[in-house]
Structure 1
Amino acid sequence: MRVAVQGCSHGCLTQIYDSIAQYEVKKSTKIHLLLLCGDFQALRSTHDFASLAVPPKYQSLGTFHEYYSGKRVAPILTIVIGGNHEASNYMWELFHGGWLAPNIYYLGAAGSVRVNGLRIVGASGIYKSHDYNKGYFETVPYDRSTLRSVYHIRKYAIERLKLLPQEANTIAMSHDWPTTIANHGDKNGLIRRKPFFREEVETNTLGSPPLLDLLRTLQADYWFSAHLHVKFAAVYEHASSASVTAPTIDLVAQAIEEVKAASTNPDEIDIDEIDEEIGTTSAPVIPEPSANPDEISIEDEFDEPAASATGPSGNPDEITIDDEFDDDIDNVPAGPAETIVYPRKNGVDGRRQGEAAQELQVDESVDLVEQARLKGDAEATRGVIGTSEPVVDPLANTESTADGRVTKFLALDKCGPGKEFIQYLDVPAPSTSIDDGPPRLTFDPHWLAITRALHPYLSLEIASKPFPPRQQLDQMVQAELKRIQEEGLLVPSAEGVEPGGLVWEKGDIDIGRVQKFWPTAPAQGEPGGSSTAWYTNPQTEAFCGMLQIPNRINPAPIGV
């Protein structure tokens, strides 16, 4: 199956589809599936700006609303996870997953689905230690604090994903990176291209510790991320049962050497051979022959620039939106409008910070971190692009083994001219050839069992509900999986003989049979709507009905 992977979208949906269309024409091929790694910005209208964590001057509607309203239709099955710059009110409606627009499926706060049997696992949001153990307490309308905390990933999401069994033919998606992943690729090249990452990279504080735990648990074939606005490849060699592997990057180094040898003519690179080593096959922008080959430009076959959006719905490249800022700054009182006064921290005297540091309180952007550090405001940005405590690399200083599994990691840049934001690759699909037909999107029965088993532990308060011991959790999930296999699921009749009728059915269940796109808020240009309104989404009702669990996500008021 031919798959396209995109980094941060930032509302540029039409540009992404146009870039893929250009690639298909140039290569005489068909892309079957598009994976979007967060900062999608599913803005239905300007009313959703109130739920998007960016400073007002960076607000841009983008083009998603045209797909939501039906003016445009997504030409490719598109699977989305959330980042830290989303229409959080709309994403919350589909906490368990659902269609954001026709042919655009959101995995929810966490989720797992199958595309022609290929398992796609996703974790939305970014990690912040102070919110990780909390429940999902945020409600619309969001205030200055909950506007940010709403997209911080929770333990409830990660622990459920960790209950998925290890399985071949698995792709994992996250917005931020697993910690220590920089040690398993061209770390020095990463620092050369993003020098303001140096401290975090060298202290193992770059990224998300829970995602590292998930990476080691799932051992997926591929792991795709975004968030840091840079392209970076790595190969993570997992531990065997007897020992753990060293952080060798032989596979990465070999692929880089091949690119170096062909760097004077990138079009001559054998993309299948590169895919064999790294798992990627093309990039939309080919560097000049003089470009530094250490930049892990590992496929370089598509040289069409990103299509540029114009008009008020286009996202200019200056929009820099990505989250991560210590919330210990949230409670710092502001000084005059043009400055913020910071107290003494880590032995460093407070000082007046610039505009970028101020905007971090709302935006928490990687790009704003870079701006602030270039201006000498390093202290104000500590903890923004990583954890506050160093993480031990579990593969450091150990002997390599030959029987461990390998995860091929790739992070991509944000959408924009000259950015390495999209990647094309061939991924084996367990099901039979899809030929020219659309891929089949089905529920993952293991994830449905996990969702039903752990639904009682979903907290909508600040305090989370503690999980039982792991052994008990496994037993609970296995019991629900057995129930699904023996009883089936309550789904709409496939034949439609009984309008509105439900039947018990076993086996693979098409998602589109149960969840059908239904616009809740009015689209841009349509009457009605409000920045403070919330909606009960019929797709969430249908999902919960299938599993026979109560809908606790924006349930309809009693009597309505």
Structure 2
Amino acid sequence: MRIAVEGCSHGELDVIYDAILAEEQSSGERVDVVLLCGDFQAIRNATDLESLAVPLKYRRMGDFHRYYAGEKTAPILTLVIGGNHEASNYMWELYYGGWLAPNIYYLGAAGSVDLGGIVVAGASGIFKRHDYTAGRFEHQPYSPSGIRSVYHTRQFDIIKLGLLQRPQIFLSHDWPNGIEHCGDVTALLRKKPFFREEVATSTLGSPPLQMLLDALHPAYWFSAHLHVRFAATVYFGDAGQSDTLAVRSNTILNPEVLEISDEENATAVSAVAMPAAVPHRPETTQFLALNKCSPRGDFLHFFTLPTPADPFLHASTEARPQVPLLYNKRWLAITRVMDPYFSLQRRQMPLPSIQDPSLRERICEEEARLDTLFADKVNPLDVRAVQHFQHTAPASATAYTSQHRRFLSVEEIAKIRASALERRRKRGAAQRSVRAYQNLDT
């Protein structure tokens, strides 16, 4: 299976797909699946821009709304995770994962699927200590703080991911904390010198993702967020190299990493207690962070993995074969067992440890129950047979106003805002004139 991976999308779907199709033409090798590592920006219409946590000057429609509307179709099956610049209102609708548009599948806040025999897992969002142990308390319309906290990683989702068995591929937007020490950190600092303090204080990256890396040992880990290409190899156990990440203490510092184009204020560095990792195995993880989609390149990576679906995928045919996309049965079992702990309040009830034997036993029992339930079903884990894409909002570059029961174009919205600013300016000028007159009168 030939796989294309991309860093921060920033709404540039046309550019990404054009670059992949061009590489197919030049290499003569067909790409079977595309993996996007966050900041996807699934903007369906101008109203969704109000849930996008970026400064106003960066708010734009991008390409996604055309794929959502059906004007265009993703030419290759695409798996997506979320970052810190998303239409969070739409992502919340698919918290457990689902089709953002035809042929574009979102893994959810956390999720795992079977991709033609390859287990892919992913964690959306970025880490912030003050929200990590909270529930999913945000409500629409988002407050100035809620529009940012909604994409912050939660301990609930990290624990669920930590209960997986080893996935071949893991996707995250954030970097795992400390990963820079497993690669050429000197070259990284030449490209991004403003990371120097965070590297020196071990605060670059996400401690929860470091815990998952140490617990799961995925064969490949792909990230984005910091807008730089960076490769590293992580060695575990007695694989013959220093176990750079695994030897860390179970208390790790909070990474307040640079958030590109994000106006959120940084908070002080503080310690976060993490669960102990599972016993090490002599394995390695190949880590690669990719750049954002830009004319400078470095935002795509192509590689091949052997899968049971290869004979089908490699069959000579003009049409692009449909890669099997299945639910991960263990992830379904984990989701069901952990559901009683899910909170929609700020306060999160105490969560079990991933080392809890009774918790793991309940997950195994749930897997056995699913086996029985699916025994007489045909392809019961086929995502395409179970979930179907549905429009849940208007698909256009317009915004809806309940006042006028109609849609406003982007240009009309700009005019309304300009008019409001002009009225505010005139009102301020009039008030200054009155005060000046009163001063003269006295």
- Taking structure 1 as the reference length, the TM-score comes to 0.64
Identity %: 47
Shift of 1:382: 6.6
Query: 1:135 corresponds to which residue?
Result: 135
Q: Flag the structure with higher strand content.
A: 2
d(CA) in 2 for partners of 1:29, 1:40: 26
3-state SS of 1:120 partner: strand
SS state of the match for residue 505, structure 1? coil
Equivalent in the alignment of 2:424: none
In the superposition, the TM-score normalised over structure 2's length comes to 0.81
Q: Which residue of 2 aligns with 1:34?
A: 34
Cα distance in 1 for residues equivalent to 2:186 and 2:273: 19
Task: Say which of 232, 245, 248 aligns to 1:234.
Answer: 232
- 8 A contact 1:41–1:64 mirrored in 2: yes
How far apart, in 1, do the equivalents of 2:84 and 2:128 lie? Answer: 11
**Which residue number in structure 1 is paired with residue 369 of structure 2?**
483
- 1:310 is aligned to none
String of CA shifts for 1:175-204, please: whole Å, max 9, x gaps.
000001000000110011100001111221
- 1:365 paired with 2:262, answer no
CA contact (8 A) 2:3 2:35 kept: yes
Say what the alpha-carbon RMSD is for the aligned residues: 2.7
Which letter maps to 2:304?
D
Distance in 2 between the 1:56 and 1:92 partners?
A: 22
Q: 1:529 to 1:154 in 2, by over 3 A?
A: farther
Q: Check whether the contact 1:205–1:388 (CA below 8 A) recurs between aligned residues.
A: no
**Preserved contact between residue 47 and residue 399 of structure 2 (Cα < 8 Å):** no
Match of 1:152 in 2: 152
| Contact in 2 for aligned 1:224/1:411 (Cα 8 Å) | yes
Q: What does residue range 202-217 of structure 1 map to in structure 2 within 5 Å?
A: 202-217=200-215
Deviation at 1:166, TM superposition (A): 2.4
SS of 2:381 mapped into structure 1: coil
Shift of residue 34, structure 1, vs aligned partner: 0.3
Shift of residue 4, structure 1, vs aligned partner: 0.4
CA distance in 2, matches of 1:522, 1:183: 46
- CA deviation after TM superposition for structure 1 residue 505, in Å: 2.2
Is residue 47–residue 400 contact of structure 2 (8 Å, CA) maintained in 1? no
Q: Residue in 2 aligned with 1:51?
A: 51
Would you say 1:505 and 2:377 are equivalent positions?
A: yes
SS in structure 2 opposite 1:72? Answer: coil
Displacement of 1:507: 5.8
- Per the alignment, residue 392 of structure 2 pairs with 520
Q: 2: CA distance between counterparts of 1:389 and 1:231?
A: 28
Closer/same/farther in 2, CA of residues 98 and 231 from structure 1, 3 Å limit:
same
Contact 1:133 1:464 in 2 (8 A): yes
**Aligned partners of 2:103 and 2:29: how far apart in 1?**
20
CA shift for structure 1 position 366: 2.8
1:125, 1:153 within 8 Å by CA — same for their partners in 2? yes
The equivalent of 2:427 in structure 1 is: none
Compared with structure 1, are the counterparts of its residues 190 and 93 closer, same or farther at alpha carbon in structure 2 (3 Å cutoff)? same
Unpaired runs of 5+ in structure 2?
A: 246-254, 315-319, 404-442
In structure 2, how many angstroms separate the alpha carbons of the residues matched to 1:129 and 1:156?
14
Give the conservation status (yes or no) of the 8 Å contact 2:235–2:285.
yes
1:235 and 1:409 in contact (8 A); partners too: yes
**1:244-393 aligned within 5 A:** 245-247=241-243, 365-366=259-260, 388-389=270-271
Farther off after superposition, 418-427 or 432-441: 432-441
CA contact (8 A) 2:46 2:399 kept: no
| Contact 2:46–2:398 under 8 Å retained in 1 | no
CA distance in 2, matches of 1:506, 1:381: 51
Cα distance in 1, alignment partners of residues 297 and 270 from structure 2: 29
Q: Distance in 1 between matches of 2:154 and 2:105?
A: 21
Change (3 A) 1:529 1:449: farther
Deviations 1:465-510 (A, max 9, x none): 2223521210111111110011228xxxxxxxxxxxxxx6276521
The alpha-carbon distance between structure 1 residues 131 and 161, as it changes in their structure 2 partners (threshold 3 A), is: same
Give the Cα–Cα distance (whole angstroms) in 2 for the partners of residues 514 and 198 of structure 1. 48
Tell me, in whole angstroms, the C-alpha distance in 2 between the residues paired with 1:205 and 1:391. Answer: 14
**How far has the Cα of 1:431 moved from its partner?**
3.4
- Tell whether the 8 Å contact from 2:203 to 2:256 is kept in structure 1 after alignment: no
Query: Match of 2:394, SS?
Result: coil
**Residue 427 of structure 2 corresponds to residue 431 of structure 1:** no
Task: Report the Cα offset of residue 430 of structure 1.
Answer: 3.6
* 1:244 Cα offset (Å): 9.2
Give the Cα separation in 2 of the matches to 1:147 and 1:444. Answer: 31
Query: Corresponding residue for 1:354?
Result: none
Unaligned runs of 5+ in 1: 250-323, 327-363, 373-379, 396-400, 490-503, 532-560
Residue equivalent to 1:189: 187
Native 8 Å contact 1:204 1:390 kept in 2: no
Instruction: Give the match for residue 290 of structure 2.
Output: 412
**Cα deviation digits, residues 502-530 of structure 1 (max 9, x gap):** xx627652101110000101011578577
**1:47–1:151 Cα change, 3 Å:** same
What's the offset of the Cα at 1:456?
1.0
**Matched residue type, 2:242:** A
**Residue of structure 1 equivalent to 2:198:** 200
Give, in angstroms, the shift of residue 17 of structure 1. 0.3
**Inter-partner Cα distance in structure 2 for 1:455 and 1:207:** 28
Structure 1 residues 527 and 109: CA distance shift in structure 2, 3 A: closer
Is the Cα–Cα contact under 8 Å of residues 485 and 506 in structure 1 kept in the other structure?
no
Q: Which amino acid aligns with 1:222?
A: Y
